[in-house]
Structure 1
């Protein structure tokens, strides 16, 4: 007897946590729809998967309503259902004193990190409610920044705090429809985006110091665990971080 079809949509799948999670989910038997702006990097992710025949790619912009609607149409046409959405795509603005922060930079971070996650959640709900068996799971990449900020990171911090509200509202509105939502707060997983943390990061006391990191595969493995729980079980929020990173007592 064949295993039931399990389909995941992953945004920001062209590198880092998105790529690692795609590889881990596919290894666990999931079919994947990979979404990002860079076609070549998406294909690299696909080819790193153990069963690339079960992986399709869609190039687009998570901040574009049209692109996200087309993504979920494509996912439904490709596999007939969606069981998991990992809202992973995210950007940060340049690190500058708050009074020098450009409005356009702030708005761009909001459009990707918050509006993009909302759009994907909205389109996922449409599919989750009508498919049979109904329901599904959403995982939001919240970041340690959803709990405590770094200096000179107001846009990223504000959007990641907002993800906490999005997660809770999604879990509440999905409750009656077998839709669950999880927020994973990641601290210093070693990805290309986080490489600079090994060289030196601005600290609240004004010094610059390197910070501990950990292998991104552990983030991916934790997401696989959550993804494979039954829909009557919800992990609302969890933190996975380098043990020695300055988070508790950061300020």
Structure 2
């Protein structure tokens, strides 16, 4: 990746949580970012927050448009994904990074035997189908653009390694994302497309807010869990993103230091 050229990213799920934190970190450090998500008003909030973080002027090096563009998109819908990548191409002219972040946990606390099929399909559609659709669109664009190549980073979660109780749909999709990451890493080699995965544990977001008051543990108890600042995750994503394409962080795990994950808690 040419260090003198403005770098272009798509961040899905950019309206809140980890997606917003990553988008702000990239914008703060000179990237141009297409902010994607289902709620246009939340994307606009992210763009407004970013205004103070942009480098001096709208286009300091005149090499390419900088800043952000908001694109309302449901990543589980192929037409929305097509429109997202077309809008990014029209605005910025290429793509250097896809942060495949959009996801949902689904209904919490539901025993496996009572999990509705519709809820299963919603989680799979967002977390896995959405990641596939966006990765495929990015892969096609990165393969054809000049200079060729780019990077895809998938948000895997530590649930790609170890499940929480009553999380079958979420855990299944995150395990599947690990397989997708490995396949993309292999298939992308001839085209300078690198793919890595970040597995995150207990970043402080709306999705993890309940963990600070009490989360169901494997032994049946409910206990509060520590969280970490989502900005720490964002800096890790940026490190992965800014490596030259000759180097790749295949898997990274970032978690609240004392959360119950390693060993017995």
TM-score (norm 2): 0.92
SS at match of 1:33: strand
SS at match of 1:190: coil
Q: Distance between the aligned counterparts of 2:8 and 2:264, measured in 1?
A: 38
1:18 and 2:32 matched: no
Q: 1:231-250 maps to which residues of 2 (within 5 A)?
A: 231-250=245-264
Q: Distance between the aligned counterparts of 2:123 and 2:154, measured in 1?
A: 16
Query: In 2, are the aligned partners of 1:204 and 1:250 still within 8 Å (CA)?
Result: no
Cα deviation for residue 105 of structure 1 reads 0.3
Q: Distance between the aligned counterparts of 1:87 and 1:127, measured in 2?
A: 15
Cα deviation for residue 60 of structure 1 reads 1.5
Q: Counterpart in 1 of 2:157?
A: 143
Question: 1:9-57: per-residue Cα shift (whole Å, max 9, x none)?
Answer: 0000000000000010011110000000111110110111122951000
Query: In 2, are the aligned partners of 1:7 and 1:82 still within 8 Å (CA)?
Result: yes
Q: Counterpart in 1 of 2:103?
A: 90
1:60 and 2:63 matched: no
Query: In 2, are the aligned partners of 1:85 and 1:137 still within 8 Å (CA)?
Result: yes
Q: Counterpart in 1 of 2:194?
A: 180
Q: Distance between the aligned counterparts of 2:219 and 2:15, measured in 1?
A: 35
Question: 1:123-178: per-residue Cα shift (whole Å, max 9, x none)?
Answer: 00111011111100000000010000000000000000000000000000001110
Q: Counterpart in 1 of 2:93?
A: 80
Q: 1:146-225 maps to which residues of 2 (within 5 A)?
A: 146-225=160-239
Question: 1:210-243: per-residue Cα shift (whole Å, max 9, x none)?
Answer: 0011111000000111110000101110100001
Cα deviation for residue 250 of structure 1 reads 4.7
Question: 1:165-220: per-residue Cα shift (whole Å, max 9, x none)?
Answer: 00000000001110001110000001111111000000010000000111110000
Which runs of no fewer than 5 residues in structure 1 stay unpaired?
Answer: none
Q: Distance between the aligned counterparts of 1:250 and 1:84, measured in 2?
A: 36
SS at match of 1:170: helix
Q: Distance between the aligned counterparts of 1:201 and 1:249, measured in 2?
A: 18
Q: Alpha carbon RMSD of aligned pairs, Å?
A: 1.2
Aligned length: 250
Taking a change above 3 Å as real, the CA distance of residues 250 and 166 of structure 1, as seen in their structure-2 partners, is: farther
Q: Distance between the aligned counterparts of 1:6 and 1:213, measured in 2?
A: 31
Cα deviation for residue 93 of structure 1 reads 1.6
SS at match of 1:123: helix
Which runs of no fewer than 5 residues in structure 2 stay unpaired?
Answer: 59-66
Q: Counterpart in 2 of 1:69?
A: 82
TM-score (norm 1): 0.97
